[in-house]
Amino acid sequence: MPDYMVLRNAAAVRTVSPFERLGPTAATAPNVPEPRVEVHSVRESEAIDIARDPQVAAVAKPMPTALIKPLEVAGAAATGAWGIAAVKADTSNFTGDGVVVAVLDTGIDKSHPAFAGVTIVEQDFSGSGNGDRQGHGTYCAGTIFGRDVSGTRIGIARGVKKALIGKVLADDGGGSSEMIFRGIQWALDQGAEVISMSLGFDFPGAVERMRQAGLPTQAAVSDSLETYRSNLRFFDALMQMVRAQAAF
């Protein structure tokens, strides 16, 4: 049976459901959203029934995800951390001090000198273990809060003292939207105020997987498009709940 991601508001009024495991959360005010991402292996008809539950905000099949890799230009000269001046971080009085940042990517090389003095909390959602075998997550983290290295500034917010590193892409650079959504929930639960994600839904990859599974091209494209749309709706529903939480 296929997997389905379920976005549930755990603070909503409970209804009878074959997938209900938790009772009402007494400590949580009923009008404060409490997003919870679950994954169930069920038939499509059962997924439709789940979606009818008032406390369920969205249901979607997981889809492949992939890195958004930098464009390599042959013969291009290194220009240093030009982004520092481009966003005017070099003239800003704000340093990021006191802000908790989450980077959902390929992990991090926490031994890199750019992260000296930063409290790093790691969590692997990819199944390939903590650490960065791609380099992409380390690069992104360095751009956000890295300290100076050998006298060169590389980080925008050098005052950040705590970073949450969620590994949502495996060592080969691929993953699934399930990993991303679980990573977002983890980051929120850990108190993240900024979440960075330099990745995207892999629509062509989803089509190819379905073709390899035996679906005709037209059916593979149609099914992948519906999966893509449902994942966008899932993300929007999660962000609406997060924005609603902010008022409290």
Residues above pLDDT 70, as percent of the chain: 90
Residues forming a β-bridge with 195: 102
Q: What is the model's pLDDT at position 83?
A: 84
Tell me the average pLDDT of the chain.
89
How far apart, in whole angstroms, are the C-alpha atoms of residue 38 and residue 147?
37
How far apart, in whole angstroms, are the C-alpha atoms of residue 63 and residue 44?
16
Work out the angle at residue 152's Cα, subtended by the Cα atoms of residues 149 and 117, and round it to the nearest 5 degrees.
35
Q: What is the model's pLDDT at position 18?
A: 46
Residues 48 and 115 in one domain: no
Q: Which of 156, 150, 148, 146 is nearest to 109 (CA)?
A: 146
> Which residues lie closer than 8 Å to 171 by C-beta, 6 or more apart?
106, 126, 128, 133, 134
Chain-centre distance for alpha carbon 206: 18
Q: Please report, in tens digits, the pLDDT of each residue of the chain (248 residues total).
A: 889 999 999 886 544 444 444 444 444 445 788 899 999 999 999 999 999 999 999 999 999 999 887 777 776 655 557 889 999 999 999 999 999 999 999 999 999 999 999 999 999 999 999 999 999 999 999 999 999 999 999 999 999 999 999 999 999 999 999 999 999 999 999 999 999 999 999 999 999 999 999 999 999 999 999 999 999 999 999 999 988 887 77
Contact 6, 61 (CB under 8 A): no
Q: What is the model's pLDDT at position 26?
A: 41
Domain range spanning residue 111?
105-211
Radius of gyration of the chain (CA): 20
Residue 205 covered by a domain: yes
Q: What is the model's pLDDT at position 24?
A: 46
How far apart, in whole angstroms, are the C-alpha atoms of residue 154 and residue 188?
26
Residues 50 and 130 in one domain: no
> Which residues lie closer than 8 Å to 149 by C-beta, 6 or more apart?
113, 114
Q: Which of 32, 33, 59 is nearest to 181 (CA)?
A: 59
Residue 244 covered by a domain: no
Residues 124 and 196 in one domain: yes
Residues 124 and 189 in one domain: yes
User: For residue range 115-136, what is the model confidence (pLDDT) as tens digits?
Assistant: 999 999 999 999 999 999 999 9
Residues 120 and 204 in one domain: yes
Residue 193 covered by a domain: yes
Contact 161, 193 (CB under 8 A): no
Contact 66, 176 (CB under 8 A): no
Number of structural domains, the chain? 2
